[in-house]
Amino acid sequence: MSETTHDIQDPEDAKLITLARSSRARNGAAEGAAVRDETGRTYVATTVALPSLQLSALQAAVAAAVSSGAQRLEAAAVVGEAAEWTAADRAVAADLGAATLLLAAPDGTPVQVEQA
């Protein structure tokens, strides 16, 4: 069972939002995402919108993590305009067992914080 709140308790989770937010701003992207793997390494990405390839920011961050050898995620954060997780982002986070899902507004304000 998961618990949904609007509070971030772990400073490492707050760091993920900061990383995702700064990446989004730097690239002028629709979304920014950051994930933390089982060893504490972080991976950051933004939305990919090419004619031949479209990825959400979270899909791109997870791809970077997996291609670097991550086997499990401790947490995943997405910063953007969305008020809820997309089904695709939930699925990719679940693929690596992310225990914490963080969704934040562009200013970094938490919209949803889910703990498994």
**Residue 58 · residue 89 · CB < 8 Å:** yes
Domain enclosing residue 109, as ranges? 3-115
Query: What is the per-residue pLDDT for 10?
Result: 86
Name the domain count of the chain.
Answer: 1
Concatenating the DSSP letter of every residue in 94-113 gives HHTT-SEEEEE-TTS-EEEE
Q: pLDDT tens, 9-67?
A: 789 999 999 999 999 999 999 999 999 999 999 999 999 999 999 999 999 999 999 99
CATH of residue 28's domain is 3.40.140.10
pTM: 0.92
Instruction: Decide if pLDDT at 110 tops 60.
Output: yes
Hey, which residues does 3 pair with through a beta bridge?
115
